[in-house]
Amino acid sequence: MNHSRSLPPPFDAQALEARFALRVTARLSEHAQRQPHAIEERLRFARQQALERARARRRTAPVAATAPSVYAMGSTLALGDGGEPRAGWFQRAVAAALPLAVLLSGLALIHWNQTHAQIEAAAQIDAELLVDDLPPTAYSDPGFFEYLRKQQNP
């Protein structure tokens, strides 16, 4: 039992739709023959009405873009104004450089913020040292840093 099927190319969507429609109608016809006559007539009448509505819609509806033309437009369909299918070299360069510029500015902002926080912490320690009542010889004492550590974490 080989489950690998070769699918038709993606631009053959109409053939896939037609094949699916044939399968659905075959199943409906098969089950409709098993129904009582009254139900079978109602189903036949509903099918005829649906076909008439579909024909009327085809006559009055404008021609839609086919799948290959939409596929050929690519990402321009989502990002552009629907005009020119391909963006110019300048638009492509800006679109490629914009994420890089945002990333670099974010990294610069993070660096500035961390540097600013370190400077503020050092200034706070300096201010506490200058306001504290320590003799000048305490700064040259080898245990001075231990004293500062104990003062910050009581």
**Minimum mean pLDDT among 7-11, 55-59, 110-114, 147-151: which range?**
7-11
pTM recorded for the entire structure: 0.33
**Contact of 83 with 72, CB cutoff 8 Å:** no
- Over range 80-85, report the average pLDDT: 49
* 68 confidence band (pLDDT: 50, 70, 90): low
Name the residue ranges covered by the structural domains of the chain: 10-59, 88-154
pLDDT digits (tens, 9 = 90+) for 16-62: 888 888 888 888 777 767 777 787 788 788 888 888 888 888 888 66
CA dihedral 52, 58, 61, 64 (to 10 degrees): 150
Closest CA to 91 of 79, 105, 103: 79
d(CA 152, CA 54): 81
Structure confidence at residue 1 (pLDDT)? 47
